[in-house]
Structure 1
Amino acid sequence: MPEGNTLTTFGGRVRFFRDRAGMSRAVFGELCGRSGDWAKAIEIGKIGMPGLNMLIRMAGILRVDDLAELTGEQRLTTATYGKNTHDQASVIVRTLAAYPLAVSDREPVSADTLAANVAQAWMVWHGSPNQRTAVATILPRLLDDARTSVRLLESVDRRRALSSLAQIYHLVQLYLSFQPYPELILMTGDRAMQAAQDADDPKAIAAASWYLNHVWRDAGEQAEARIDLADQAGRLLRPENAEDRSLWGLLQLAMALSHAKIGRRGDAERHWDGARRTAQSLDGHHPWLMFGLGMVDAYAVTMAADLTNGHEATKQGDRIDLTAIPSKTRRAFHTVEIARGFYLRKEPLATVHLLNRAYGISPDTVAFNLFTRSAVSELMTTGGATVRDEARDLAHKIRLVPTA
């Protein structure tokens, strides 16, 4: 690889190889599933080194055989890009792999009881600061009950049980998120959609579309498909019904986030406006999806960060009241997103301070968040003395480094 001052940074190396390939920023960004502005932000150092999957994708696009030529002296460590694993994950994985084939000697759980149990599980998820631990003990039984009941119940009761099963798969997807089980996360999203369709329930289909949108967006894949899916699911809903209207707004938010992820600011803002108008017409939040005005406003921070506009992200963060969102995991997640805005602005002290605040709200959410793990790993060595101390303290808490 040629030497030169421009090649001392990750962004400089990306620019060198992009120029060598005769590729514009717009084309490179599009091939990466992002935008030309994203490519520029990478090259000028406004965005740091992305995750391993994106690095591999970039290397293929730029025809770089040795990944080290892109990463330079920055080592790819499991501390930087590794995913945390919950203590009970193996139990959940085994339950997903098991099928209730012998049910002739069992009694089904009634559709009413199943729905009540699922509602209680959502309350546990949103109300606990350590939500994975809280739901790990109840998910296996919920899965077993729902899948057995779907086989034994008939007619309307079976369709209601299928709708509950779809929600259980959503909970499993949330439990497995940011753990090293990408194929299972995709599988739970697909199973949830299948259950929702079998139930012939537009509300369940809308919710499944929201969660599939997350799966594809986090993987950086299927941009047009996930936008189209959300649009189609929204057309199944009846706007005169309050719950349907809430779900329609949620799907507008899904489309806004998808557009922002690939750099389409105008489309992102248009759909976000639709989501916000819908949220303003509702009283409170959806009981388990948490759609409401607070959630919509908080996602404006994520959109700005995905559009690499750190100043806009932090400005939006100053405007929102996270206490209005009745979910510890959501409040913690959105606090992390505000921290991401300050990280884009290269303000490490504010970044690590907000990450610690998020940890105080929900340790579980922060410990499994990939941005947190990457940022803390970096700030332990590159920040000032105060930043390094706070980052190291948080690193021990989230098991990024062993406790002495």
Structure 2
Amino acid sequence: MPADTDIASDDSTLTFGQRVRRARERNGLTRPVVGGLVGRSAEWVKAIENGRLNTPRLPLLLRLADVLGVADLAELTGDERVSAASYTKAAHSALPAVRQALTTYRLGGADEEPEGVEELLSRVSEAWQLWHGSGEHRTRVARVLPDLLGDLQHAARALEGAGRRRALAGLAQTYHLAQLYLAFQPVPELVTLTGDRSMSAAQDADCPRAIATAAWYMNHVFREAGERHEARVDLAMKAAALLRPDADVEDRALWGLLHLAAALSYAKIGQRGNAERYWDRADAVARSLGDDYVHPYLVFGRRMVDAYAITVNADLVRGHRAVSAAERVDLASVPSATRRSFHLIESARAYRLQGEHVAVVHLLRKALETSPETARFNLFARSTVVELADSPNAVIRDDVRYLTTKLGMPTAA
């Protein structure tokens, strides 16, 4: 099909190349960006879309699906028997319990006294500590999420005035935790649900900080769902406008966080100038807060902004700059095992752009050791291990086998 021909609306008639083009355009990605992120050229992407090249082998197909934000390979291949979920998305053992908590409502009577707001907010803070701690953070958070959600929902219904608004702000934070728990699992509809509920609770609380935090997490939801870039940036900037960055330290941190969200959004669609401009604003805020400042649960601060420079440059397909950023950042001082593991995986992604597979495998092992459940549920880590299983490089062979086992990956045929 010629490149400029409209894509047919009937899914059953679409070719593989037409499906790739549809997913690419839905995410606002250019051919050079997609090609760079999968280790191929823009001409390769064009040849795929125009049908001059056949469907690639599974490892490359998985990488392409990851870059295009496609959860099921059937969306690209048209074959409902082929799903990417087993290769690129794992399901946590407690997922059914968390799903039930999100779709069940405790309709307590008027005489049922809610727990005190201070006690509830203390439980929210403890849940965030579980998330950022080392070890099985998803498993630990899943144990407390159902009851915490139910108790906060009841308090928000039963209380009035300032107490109700504080309970709602705590509920918004708990929905953020649920969203993080659900991320990278095969339940995109629940990720969207928790993002929407967190924003609704934040707005009902009439709390600019809660709204700003919800906007940060909704940006992640939008990127995962392939929502248009303009909506992501518009939401972040509208939320930032509600803050008082010159009058309050936390407001300033959240203002910087939302500009970081805009930088990540621009980088995702390959707009280098805007990505750098918004990242510079976030960087200036982090520097103004000092090297020792770290937001208590969002972890915004000097090291977080430095680490996200890896992601920004990797998304812009600037491998050398991404590797340089990875070499400069001090991840050991980031007070979150989940964050350290994530940024180690992003460092691996930077080295992958440079074709340095030994470094990729080393960093993935280090990420797994730092926070096992972060690595197990990361799409790049899982799809890369599948890809490297076919590598003829004997140096990494044993490590790839180890990662395949520890990440719970099936063996590709």
TM (normalized to structure 2)?
0.84
**Residues 301 and 341 in structure 1, CA contact (< 8 A), matched pair in contact too:** yes
Tell me by how many angstroms 1:220 deviates.
Answer: 2.4
Alignment-derived partner of residue 307 in structure 2: 298
> For the Cα contact (< 8 Å) 1:30–1:36, is it kept in 2?
no
Alpha-carbon offset, residue 77 of structure 1: 6.0
Matched, 1:273 2:268: no
Match in the other structure for 2:230: 224
Q: Distance in 2 between matches of 1:89 and 1:165?
A: 19
One-letter code of the match for 1:306? D
Q: Deviations over 1:53-101 (max 9, x none)?
A: 93879x99xxx99659xxxxxx966477441111111100001010122
Runs of 4+ in 1 over 6 A off after TM superposition: none
Q: Which residues in structure 2 correspond to 1:1-400 (within 5 Å)?
A: 30=25, 32-41=27-36, 45=40, 48=60, 49-51=63-65, 54=68, 78=84, 81-239=87-245, 240-283=247-290, 284-400=293-409
Rounded to whole Å, the distance in 1 between the matches of 2:259 and 2:347 is: 22
Identity %: 48
Q: Map Cα deviations across residues 141-176 of structure 1 (whole Å, 9 max, x no partner).
A: 110110000011110000000000000000000011
Shift of residue 110, structure 1, vs aligned partner: 1.5
Partner Cα separation in structure 2 for residue 247 and residue 379 of structure 1? 39
Q: How many residues align?
A: 372
Check 1:92–1:79 CA distance in 2 against 1; reply closer, same or farther (3 A cut).
Answer: closer
| Structure 1 residues 328 and 91: CA distance shift in structure 2, 3 A | same
Q: Tell me which amino acid in the other structure corresponds to 1:173.
A: Q
Relative distance call for 1:52 and 1:351 in structure 2 (3 A) is closer
- Is the CA contact (8 Å cut-off) linking 1:166 and 1:195 kept in structure 2? yes
Cα pair distance change 1:206/1:44, threshold 3 Å: closer
* 8 Å contact from structure 2 (residues 87, 410) kept in 1: no
Shift of 1:109: 1.4
User: After alignment, is 381-390 or 308-317 more displaced?
Assistant: 381-390
CA 1:88/1:212 → structure 2, altered by over 3 Å: closer, same or farther? same
**Separation in 1 of the partners of 2:215 and 2:174?**
15
Contact 2:270 2:315 in 1 (8 A): yes
Q: Distance in 1 between matches of 2:285 and 2:168?
A: 28
- Rounded to whole Å, the distance in 2 between the matches of 1:348 and 1:205 is 41
Structure 2 unaligned runs (5+)?
A: 2-15, 43-59
CA distance in 2, matches of 1:130, 1:234: 33
- AA matched with 1:356: R
RMSD: 2.8
SS of the equivalent of 1:248 reads helix
Separation of aligned partners in 2, 1:376 and 1:43: 14
**Offset at 1:388?**
2.3
Q: CA deviation at 1:319?
A: 0.7
**C-alpha distance in structure 2 between counterparts of 1:264 and 1:46, whole Å:** 18
**Offset of residue 332 of structure 1:** 0.2
